[in-house]
Structure 1
């Protein structure tokens, strides 16, 4: 399948012209593909020893794979690019996820055993390590460590429309510090800040709230089983849910190591910048969650299908991530997969869903957060648009980013 014209124009035909997709198996088999070997090693390291904050783990992905792409740009041979990938990802993982060093060491040993032992390969491994170390130094103190991300948020005085802690835990807000973290490409966290949410009492606001009240209630009598299943499937971490989607794109691409490495790098750079922009918007508007609004309107015992995350409603973070992911994949690959791909969900064990494009997961995410009772539709739609805006910006600036 050809790359979209927009993607080729933004990133350069030489970079993306051979990207494509095909279908993966539902499980992830052992592979001799270097890019997939390091992809799976990165994913396993983060799943088994990563940070408690999603954006911190997105940062690890971004540093590892962006460093690899930068080192590969100066290594023309296929073996050299494979070696540079190994050096960069290994160096990043042993630094940022040290508890998973054994698995990173094992992948490195396997990769080096498969490569010829000659100076160019050894130099490329060293170049990858050096690129990773430079980027780690460059990103030091960027505010994306867990403690900085979850800087305490002083709860504002209760007022119509203003966020308050939500039942049943009434926990303090999270991700407040994320809004002042240093992005990879954005000029500021608020560069693409969405317009304000619908005014309290406006027709759009009332329609949003009525929809959540009816379809998102724990005891809803109108939500179908299929809608409940969709809400449950998309409940988990966006990083966890999208890791197999990006893997499908990487696994199915006939492109060489360099182009597939760049795809992973740009995806996660956009994910980090999107999460920073999301927190900026959330804490600028501080919009209350549906459960707070509905209870304030007189239904004092109303509860959502799923517990409400501890941060403001607008925009939806799940949907900003979806918009970013869809934007990067569409720009660099095109809107559709060559053949269907299948993913699972940690919040729906044993359940899989199959998709033929990158848009349907976004569409389901919009509905899912309403049917979970935890977001308004306006917050979901605004989230998709914000993620798409950041993705376009990242891809547009890819040439400078990848140097």
Structure 2
């Protein structure tokens, strides 16, 4: 049997085993990566998207999730519309059978980013030229480009009048337990409109709205207050060097960390173009909706941050909390309410999606520019424990806000995988 025939037979066997075990070909691919995956276009445009959204446009972290979701959905539709294997995202079009799916992916990413970030045209056009240079000239390339443009246009149409940049104001008057701008910047509520944006997957921003935060006189609030006051303080004597490193590690720009981690996973496990597109689309759209859900909760409940709670503890009606007017967190508090944690809801969503894509073997390798270190997590539970702890140890969240956020994100990720990105039968 020739080498090519042997590879073909092994591929068929892997597919049959995957079907018998109730897994997807994506799971089988992680066990036996191929030399050439064809997914480089996905990795290239992930980097270009970060350079455009984060570096050029300087969008706030929470808002970045939305635009990465747009790009990922368009690329996914462009690829599976030609290659098949998985159900398209809110689309029923099929591309020409012999069209280049790599050209389609590049065209889709380029068009979406250019639509929303025209100031980055030089960067985007250069990346597009480089992508198409790796695709043989001819009919397949042209058909792929046309189909990718259509996939992008579909996403742009879906996102028309979705509430982005709408005039949404936070109008809760200051009171015990209620958020107000925090030192040192005392900046207003950042991107409040995000809490009212039309989700990408869910039917409304409050589909998974969690319940209210613990009452100020409750045992849970008292416990959370004491913990963050002691261990999240800037000069805490309770926080160990290892805890400080964890707190700082997860203070990097989360969507940028995630994009790099996805790229690393695709390259490390040899995912092909289709499975790479699915990974990015599932995580990208789930985190977009997780960010929207978190901001909806922040607008709804407006819970104050630890720095305010600790400095004004004499006003909370809880005799078990004592004020410290000079208290500061390890790192500055971001400008929006505590409940629920935007970081943790996105963490929970990603881990939930990866759990379902990998059968629980997430192998998540993530790096931080803040600490200059890299961590590898073999399972979702270990990762979630660290991110919950980190946001308490950095002094910006009460523990309950993190725990509820991770659980809520997990529900969003599970819902996403139950309703989208399924295997074609």
* Aligned twin of 1:28: none
Which deviates further from its counterpart, 384-393 or 102-111?
102-111
1:175 aligned to 2:191?
A: yes
Please tell me whether the aligned partners of residues 351 and 362 of structure 2 are also in contact (alpha carbons under 8 angstroms): no
1:383 aligned to 2:405?
A: yes
Deviation, structure 1 residue 216: 0.7
Choose the corresponding residue for 1:292, options 295, 298, 308: 308
Deviation, structure 1 residue 250: 1.9
Deviation, structure 1 residue 399: 4.4
1:278 aligned to 2:294?
A: yes
* Aligned twin of 1:134: 154
* Aligned twin of 1:370: 392
Q: Is the alpha carbon distance of 1:194 and 1:360 closer, same or farther for their aligned partners in structure 2, counting shifts above 3 Å?
A: same
Deviation, structure 1 residue 383: 0.8
* Aligned twin of 1:227: 243
1:355 aligned to 2:372?
A: no
Please tell me whether the aligned partners of residues 313 and 379 of structure 1 are also in contact (alpha carbons under 8 angstroms): yes
Deviation, structure 1 residue 78: 8.0
Please tell me whether the aligned partners of residues 217 and 372 of structure 1 are also in contact (alpha carbons under 8 angstroms): yes
Cα distance between partner residues in 2 of 1:400 and 1:135? 19
The one-character-per-residue Cα deviations of 1:327-352 (angstroms, maximum 9, x if unpaired) are 111111233356x73x432333x333
Choose the corresponding residue for 2:331, options 306, 317, 325: 306
1:336 aligned to 2:352?
A: no
* Aligned twin of 1:143: 163
Please tell me whether the aligned partners of residues 39 and 271 of structure 2 are also in contact (alpha carbons under 8 angstroms): no
Correspondence 1:44-59 to 2 at 5 A: 44-59=51-66
* Aligned twin of 1:67: 74
Choose the corresponding residue for 1:346, options 351, 354, 369: 369
Please tell me whether the aligned partners of residues 327 and 391 of structure 1 are also in contact (alpha carbons under 8 angstroms): yes
SS of structure 1 residue aligned to 2:169: coil
1:319 aligned to 2:344?
A: yes
When normalised by structure 1's length, the TM-score is 0.85
* Aligned twin of 2:89: none
1:20 aligned to 2:30?
A: yes
Please tell me whether the aligned partners of residues 99 and 139 of structure 2 are also in contact (alpha carbons under 8 angstroms): no
SS of structure 2 residue aligned to 1:20: helix
List gaps (5 residues or longer) in structure 1.
1-7, 24-30
SS of structure 1 residue aligned to 2:266: helix
Choose the corresponding residue for 1:100, options 113, 116, 120: 120
Cα distance between partner residues in 2 of 1:102 and 1:74? 28
Cα distance between partner residues in 2 of 1:196 and 1:375? 15
Please tell me whether the aligned partners of residues 151 and 174 of structure 1 are also in contact (alpha carbons under 8 angstroms): no
Aligned residues: 379
Deviation, structure 1 residue 182: 0.6
Q: Is the alpha carbon distance of 1:118 and 1:260 closer, same or farther for their aligned partners in structure 2, counting shifts above 3 Å?
A: same
* Aligned twin of 2:104: 84
Cα distance between partner residues in 2 of 1:35 and 1:326? 20
* Aligned twin of 1:41: 48
* Aligned twin of 2:9: none
Which deviates further from its counterpart, 329-338 or 228-237?
329-338
Which deviates further from its counterpart, 163-172 or 198-207?
163-172
Please tell me whether the aligned partners of residues 29 and 271 of structure 2 are also in contact (alpha carbons under 8 angstroms): yes
Please tell me whether the aligned partners of residues 77 and 151 of structure 2 are also in contact (alpha carbons under 8 angstroms): yes
Deviation, structure 1 residue 136: 0.9
Cα distance between partner residues in 2 of 1:353 and 1:22? 23
The one-character-per-residue Cα deviations of 1:64-107 (angstroms, maximum 9, x if unpaired) are 22112222233136862212111111111222233333343333
SS of structure 2 residue aligned to 1:171: coil
When normalised by structure 2's length, the TM-score is 0.81
Deviation, structure 1 residue 21: 7.6
* Aligned twin of 1:123: 143
Q: Is the alpha carbon distance of 1:346 and 1:129 closer, same or farther for their aligned partners in structure 2, counting shifts above 3 Å?
A: same
Cα distance between partner residues in 1 of 2:423 and 2:189? 33
Higher relative contact order (CA 8 A, sep 6+): 1
Cα distance between partner residues in 2 of 1:22 and 1:99? 42
Please tell me whether the aligned partners of residues 19 and 332 of structure 1 are also in contact (alpha carbons under 8 angstroms): no
Q: Is the alpha carbon distance of 1:261 and 1:323 closer, same or farther for their aligned partners in structure 2, counting shifts above 3 Å?
A: same
Deviation, structure 1 residue 45: 2.5
SS of structure 2 residue aligned to 1:344: strand
